[in-house]
């Protein structure tokens, strides 16, 4: 990360930022031309290597993306569902091979067979309508089950917008210190995976020196199997946006950035329309509701990079830099976007703020457990009899989620990968021992994370799934630290040779590799991958032992 480039990129502020201009330059062909890159380099006063290095990193900007018209989902849920080979065959009947690309998880994990065409996502039986879709570009109607068990906070209908925004009006009439106290009382922790205190982040930013500060919503957390963020973005957008305004008021930030996955085009459109509505209604802008507080939003469409779910890589991305993980300290709350104090939180975390401010922090804290307060959204994939989004009180038994909400499995399942690709690989016999909260999962050697559930059936080889995870990490690594960059590649190679060439993996060598990744990686991408691998080696040793030297 270059602090100089951060400053140069920040000269023009958010309205014309380098990253967004790279995306615009790629719209016609799928990748920005060299002339366009040179023009942007001159405008933003940065070097050729910086601009080209950034553009060539993203899936939807790199030169290999040129001419791509349709993309097949290669996410974990679609992989284990076994739908994508047949989908690819059907798509190949309508498109040339060089027109077909891949996207990682379109958030259609509830029905699989997912693909992207002309800025829209499709899944399920939509492939059978591909001829009509090509002609009309029509968007089909997606359906998935939504329900709550316990307290409905994020799944509750917030009704009339103007009535809902009385929460904001009341919040802006109070002191920042009073709102921060409510947030501390709530005990709300980040829902993106780390479970970090939200109040601590906002207070740290509030106390940081500087007139310019930012609230950044990380809506780029593309954990395969997770579509809870997408649910909020598309069906509860104002819970998120109001949460961001309140967070900005507490921290003294006047700018809010919603950085949304490019794989979620509908989410981008819905959030942008909601932002436009807020400007029309006077809930953003100058002197909001006569409070003297100013706040404006910027919606940014990402360009395909899982690493941007890591908060510092996301900030570098907005600046138009290659999205590499930054070494901390300094932390973003002291030196973040454009080197200014910044708070980064994920969608679900921010969307809890309206409830906390309207009902009180103590009421939120009374829900869930002592250390994991409030509720949690859980995403169930297509292997369940009733897949969908479920909001449960923290501490709810996992067995309730699986058997009562999801109505059990459609077929024989041997494991669930919970919490994204870096979450724990949970064998089904552990279901009775787990509750949906941070500490229950940590105690058993797993990770709640996003609380996404990807099922692995009895006939899907664990060795194939581990290779998939290593390949995913190798593709998505920012490349800054070698334990992640090299370790993921070497791991994928060893597993591939074991599957296809009869190669026997040296157990000590393999353990050294994953331990090096866990200890030496800069962020949770390389550092988190060893968790599901170790879970697999422990719980599925009998299935895996044939691939290892005795």
70-143 maps to which CATH number? 3.40.30.10
Q: What is the pLDDT of residue 193?
A: 67
Q: Please state, in angstroms and rounded to a whole number, the distance separating the CA atoms of residues 182 and 196.
A: 17
3-65 fold: Arc Repressor Mutant, subunit A (1.10.10)
How is domain 375-455 classified at the architecture level of CATH? Roll (3.10)
| CB-CB neighbours of 418 under 10 Å | 28
pLDDT at 141: 84
Q: Which two tokens stand for residue 47?
A: 């070097």
User: What is the spatial distance between Cα 417 and Cα 432, in angstroms, rounded to a whole number?
Assistant: 16
Cα four-point dihedral sign 233, 236, 242, 247: negative
- Kindly give the parts of the chain with pLDDT less than 50: none
What does the pLDDT read at residue 512?
Answer: 97
| Beta strands, E only, 364-458 | 375-380, 388-393, 396-397, 413-418, 424-427, 435-436, 452-457
What is the C-alpha separation between 149 and 470, in angstroms, rounded?
35
Q: What is the pLDDT of residue 241?
A: 98
- Three-state SS for 322? coil
Angle among Cα 56, 59, 60 to the nearest 5 degrees reads 90
What was the pLDDT predicted at 272?
Answer: 98
Query: CATH 3.40.30.10 region(s) of the chain?
Result: 70-143
| pLDDT digit string, tens, across residues 438-477 | 999 999 999 998 899 999 999 999 999 999 999 999 999 9
Query: Token pair of 431, please?
Result: 């279901």
Cis peptide bond upstream of 52, omega within 30: no
Please state, in angstroms and rounded to a whole number, the distance separating the CA atoms of residues 437 and 375: 9
Which segments of the chain belong to CATH 1.10.10?
3-65
Global pTM reads 0.96
Start-end ranges of CATH 3.10.20.600 in the chain? 375-455
**Residue 548: DSSP 8-state:** B
CA dihedral 107, 108, 109, 110 (to 10 degrees): 130
Distance between CA atoms of residues 165 and 514, nearest Å: 49
From the list 505, 426, 429, the residue with the least C-alpha distance to 467 is 505
User: Domain 157-361, what fold?
Assistant: Rossmann fold (3.40.50)
- When computed from its CA atoms, the radius of gyration of the chain, rounded to whole angstroms, is 23
- Pairing of the two strands 342-346 and 214-219: parallel
Question: Other CB atoms closer than 10 Å to residue 533's CB: what's the count?
Answer: 21
Closest CA to 532 of 422, 456, 443, 444: 422
End-to-end CA distance of the chain, in Å? 44
Strand order of the β-sheet with 424-427 is 145-149, 388-393, 375-380, 452-457, 413-418, 424-427
**CATH class of the domain defined by 462-547:** mainly alpha
How far is Cα 109 from Cα 76, in angstroms, rounded to an integer? 9
Give start-end residues of each CATH 1.20.1440.230 domain in the chain. 462-547
Phi-psi region of 450 (alpha: psi -120 to 50; beta: other; left: phi over 0): alpha
The torsion defined by the Cα of 430, 433, 439 and 445, in degrees rounded to 10, comes to -30
pLDDT at site 3:
74
Measured CA to CA in angstroms, residue 46 lies from 32, 142, 312, 320 at distances of 16, 43, 20, 10
Residue 412: exposure state from Cβ atoms within 10 A (0-12, 13-18, ≥19) = exposed
């Amino acid at each position: 990360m270059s602090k100089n480039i951060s400053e140069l990129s920040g000269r023009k502020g958010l309205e014309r930022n380098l990253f967004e201009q790279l995306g615009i330059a790629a719209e016609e062909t799928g990748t920005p031309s060299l002339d366009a890159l040179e023009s942007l380099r001159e405008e933003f006063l940065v070097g050729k290597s910086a601009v080209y290095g950034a553009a060539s990193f993203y899936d939807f900007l790199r030169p290999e993306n040129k001419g791509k018209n349709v993309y097949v989902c290669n996410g974990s849920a679609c992989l284990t569902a076994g739908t994508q080979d047949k989908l690819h065959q059907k798509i190949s009947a309508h498109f040339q091979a060089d027109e077909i690309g891949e996207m990682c998880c379109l958030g259609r994990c509830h029905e699989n067979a997912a693909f992207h065409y002309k800025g829209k996502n499709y899944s399920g039986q939509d492939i059978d309508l591909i001829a009509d879709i090509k002609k009309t570009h029509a968007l089909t109607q997606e359906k998935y089950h939504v329900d709550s068990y316990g307290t409905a906070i994020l799944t509750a209908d917030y009704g009339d917008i103007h009535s809902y925004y009385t929460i904001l009006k009341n919040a802006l009439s109070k002191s920042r210190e009073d709102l921060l106290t409510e947030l501390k009382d709530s005990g709300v922790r980040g829902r993106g995976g780390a479970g970090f205190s939200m109040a601590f982040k906002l207070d740290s930013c509030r106390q940081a020196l500087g007139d310019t500060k930012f609230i950044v919503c990380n809506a780029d957390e593309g954990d395969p199997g997770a579509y809870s963020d997408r649910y909020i973005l598309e069906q509860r957008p104002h819970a998120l946006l109001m949460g961001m305004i309140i967070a900005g008021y507490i921290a003294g930030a006047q700018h809010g950035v919603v950085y949304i996955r490019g794989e979620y085009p509908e989410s981008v459109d819905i959030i942008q329309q909601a932002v436009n509505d807020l400007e029309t209604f006077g809930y953003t802008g100058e002197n909001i509701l006569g409070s003297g507080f100013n706040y404006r939003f910027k919606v940014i469409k990402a360009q395909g990079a899982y690493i941007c779910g890591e908060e510092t890589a996301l900030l570098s991305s907005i600046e138009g830099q290659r999205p590499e993980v930054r070494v901390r300290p300094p932390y973003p709350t002291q030196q973040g976007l454009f080197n200014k104090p910044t708070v980064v939180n994920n969608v679900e975390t921010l969307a809890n703020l309206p409830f906390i401010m309207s009902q009180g922090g103590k009421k939120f804290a009374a829900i869930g457990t002592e250390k994991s307060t409030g509720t949690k959204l859980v995403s169930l994939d297509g292997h369940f009899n009733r897949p969908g989004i479920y909001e449960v009180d923290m501490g709810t038994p996992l067995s309730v989620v699986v058997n009562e909400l999801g109505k059990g499995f459609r077929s024989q399942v041997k494991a669930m990968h919970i919490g994204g690709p870096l979450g724990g690989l949970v064998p089904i016999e552990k279901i009775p021992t787990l509750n949906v909260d941070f500490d229950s999962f940590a105690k058993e050697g797993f990770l709640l994370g996003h609380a996404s559930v990807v099922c692995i059936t009895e006939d899907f080889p664990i060795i194939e799934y581990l290779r998939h995870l290593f390949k995913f990490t190798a593709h998505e690594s920012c490349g800054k630290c070698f334990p992640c960059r090299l370790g993921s590649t070497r791991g994928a190679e060893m597993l591939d040779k074991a599957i296809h060439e009869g190669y026997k993996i040296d157990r000590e060598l393999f353990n050294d590799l994953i331990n090096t990744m866990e200890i030496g990686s800069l962020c949770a991408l390389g550092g988190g991958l060893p968790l599901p691998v170790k879970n697999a080696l422990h719980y599925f040793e009998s299935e895996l032992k044939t691939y290892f030297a005795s």
